[in-house]
């Protein structure tokens, strides 16, 4: 592997192959790395072919180098600025549900009074015996 390639460096490369799990990028004549599908862009990627194709020139960041296996992990996403979440999306988040205990507190006066009364009666009876 080329010694000038280091983890954290940003390099220009060319897409040489596209698979469902990622894209292969030639960094120089002898060195190739893989951009996993999760590192192609920010957000969910269903079909990698919608984002890259063979022959594309891309800027990649080196995430990992495994000398023994001869593998280089790359990221296109790490070279891009993360998109800001729209303010409207933050406001439309689903409200959290109330805990079950809080909901049951209101039902004390309905439905289970007889059981509650019976329980107290049974406790009193057991104390006398």
Q: Which two tokens stand for residue 35?
A: 């951009």
Domain boundaries, the chain: 10-79
Please tell me the pTM assigned to this model: 0.61
pLDDT 10s digits, 3-43: 578 899 999 999 999 999 999 999 988 889 999 999 999 88
Burial of 40 (0-12, 13-18, 19+ CB in 10 A): buried
Q: Which CATH class is domain 10-79?
A: mainly beta
């Amino acid at each position: 592997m080329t010694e000038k390639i280091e983890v954290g460096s940003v390099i220009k490369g060319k897409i040489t192959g596209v698979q469902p799990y990622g894209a292969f990028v030639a960094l120089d004549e002898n060195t190739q790395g893989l951009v996993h599908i999760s590192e192609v862009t920010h957000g969910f990627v269903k079909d990698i072919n919608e984002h890259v194709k063979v022959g594309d020139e891309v800027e990649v960041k080196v995430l990992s180098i495994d000398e023994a296996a001869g593998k280089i992990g790359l990221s296109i996403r790490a070279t891009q600025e993360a998109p800001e979440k729209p303010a409207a999306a933050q406001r439309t988040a689903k409200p959290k549900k109330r805990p079950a205990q809080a909901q049951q507190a209101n039902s004390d006066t309905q439905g289970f009074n007889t059981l509650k009364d019976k329980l107290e009666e049974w406790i009193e009876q057991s104390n006398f015996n």
